[in-house]
Amino acid sequence: MSNGALPDYLSMAKPNPLGNRAPWYKNTAPTYAGIMLWFVFWADVPGEKSGAVGGVLSHGLGTALLGLILAALLCHFLYYLVPAMLGMKTGLPLYIVGTSTYGATGGFVMPGFVMGLLQFGWLGVNSCFSAAFLVKPFYPDLDLMGVISTPPHIIVAILWAAAAAFMGLKGIQYVAKVATYLPLIPLVILVVLFFCSAGGLGSFEPAQVGVTAETPGLSAISVIAVLLTYVIGFFATAGAAGTDFGMNSRDSKDVSMGGLVGIAGATVFAGGLALLIVAGTFGSGKATVASGLNPTQLMGILVGGKTGAVFMWLLALAAFPPACFSSFIAANSFKTTLPKVNPFITVSIGTAVSILLAVTGWAADVMSVFGVIGASFGPVCGAMMVDYIMAGKKWAGPRAGWNPAGWISWVVGFIVGMMPLVSLPLVGKVNIPAAPLMAFIVGAVLYFALAKAGMESKVLEMAAAPAEAEAAPQEAPAEAPGKEKTEEKSD
């Protein structure tokens, strides 16, 4: 098929040249680290939202840390690495590279349009909790969930979401200038809270968080499954977006190091400190079961009420750039998939949905939110990984129409991922441990089986731009010798 048969967004795609790319420590690692340092992520790692007595600390620190490390490594190796390698080798973004898995027509919807839609879910979560942190110091007698949906919270959440959406559309370049430094705020706060609580670590016992013979809490396997569900669900869209990070990486070493440091390392650092802070606070006897397992709710106990209130405001401030970036990603997605619609209209509609999620408190149910995200993008990452390997560790190119192998694998994987969240007729909710990971596995296995059965649509011819991008390291200037050999060995 000729290039003329390609949609315009494919025929006009241009790879990011090697000269525009940068080392992993200048782009991939700090950006991902900023995502994992977002307080909404690490604050609930101890598992208060799991609904189980003792959360993930019900079997002590060792089991919880093991589950966290396993989740962090899976995020890097299963969800990020292949999309990032595809971006690095082609120089093309996710909505282009995804056409190999979902077809030149289907690629408009998945992953491009769906990625944009889910960003408004993230904006809702961000607005809900950021507004709650800004308002909470004025409601000392209420816990955080009690603050949500109060009139001040509603007003602040609306203003927060609207401001973030506007900045994402018009002023993202200004936000980016300070976003590099704002992640230092939660990092410093985590370190301060750790040193304030570390003295109690040696005395921590699961009984201090409410675990008894009558209320045993989670089993050891369930602790790991909850952490896999939580961490992978939170990270799934960011993993697929690794393609866009990869297209700014010079070689496979940049891809690997960026993920190991910015994803695996930052996840263990932020989530691990959250676990240690909670365990240390309970171990020292400063907290009781009524205090909860959220480290941000223990700040007043550890540093005093006034300093804790300042920490809350600082954490909310550091969360504003991620809210803007969510709006920015959504706007770019809609500009690509709905080019004839004014992005102000699409982003405004999406922001209205975000505000509804925030002010009603629906966005505060992070386990469900992360479960939906994991169900949506787990199969995407799984199918992309198999597609990449079957093509010889390269991009196969855009496929015609709606690639059946990709779409069938996604539908089944999504259903599996959603089973613990949706009540089905006759059977109710089906408890599938680590559902986002199971959705990934189902997506990968089904794509492989369907591809072997001949259910991939044919590859369309495309200009040589992606091949040129892969060959770019050979044309690199003299100061970067041997890059091609390094890339081949790393594969």
In a domain, 9, yes or no: no
Domain count, the chain: 1
| Segments forming the whole domain that contains residue 445 | 27-456
In a domain, 92, yes or no: yes
Q: Name the residue with tokens 């879910």.
A: 121
What pLDDT, in 10s, does the model give residues 417-445?
A: 999 998 877 777 888 999 999 999 999 99
How far is Cα 178 from Cα 166, in angstroms, rounded to an integer? 17
What pLDDT, in 10s, does the model give residues 269-280?
A: 999 999 999 999
- What lies within 8 Å, CB to CB, of 136 at 6+ separation is 142, 144, 147, 309, 312
How far is Cα 71 from Cα 279, in angstroms, rounded to an integer? 20
What pLDDT, in 10s, does the model give residues 81-109?
A: 999 999 999 999 898 999 999 999 998 88
In a domain, 477, yes or no: no
pLDDT, averaged across the chain: 89
CATH number of residue 97's parent domain:
1.10.4160.10
- For the question of whether the overall pTM of this predicted structure is more than 0.85, the answer is yes
In a domain, 103, yes or no: yes
More confident residue, 340 or 470: 340
User: 441: exposed, middle or buried (C-beta count within 10 Å: 0-12, 13-18, 19+)?
Assistant: middle
In a domain, 18, yes or no: no
Q: Residue 147 in contact with residue 344, Cβ under 8 Å? A: no
Helix (H, G, I), strand (E, B) or coil at 69: helix
Q: CB neighbours (10 Å) of residue 25?
A: 13
In a domain, 112, yes or no: yes
Dig out the tokens for 441 from the structure: 């596995």
In a domain, 36, yes or no: yes
In a domain, 383, yes or no: yes
DSSP letter assigned to residue 238? H
Q: Which amino acid does the sequence have at 248? A: N
Q: Name the residue with tokens 């056409």.
A: 99
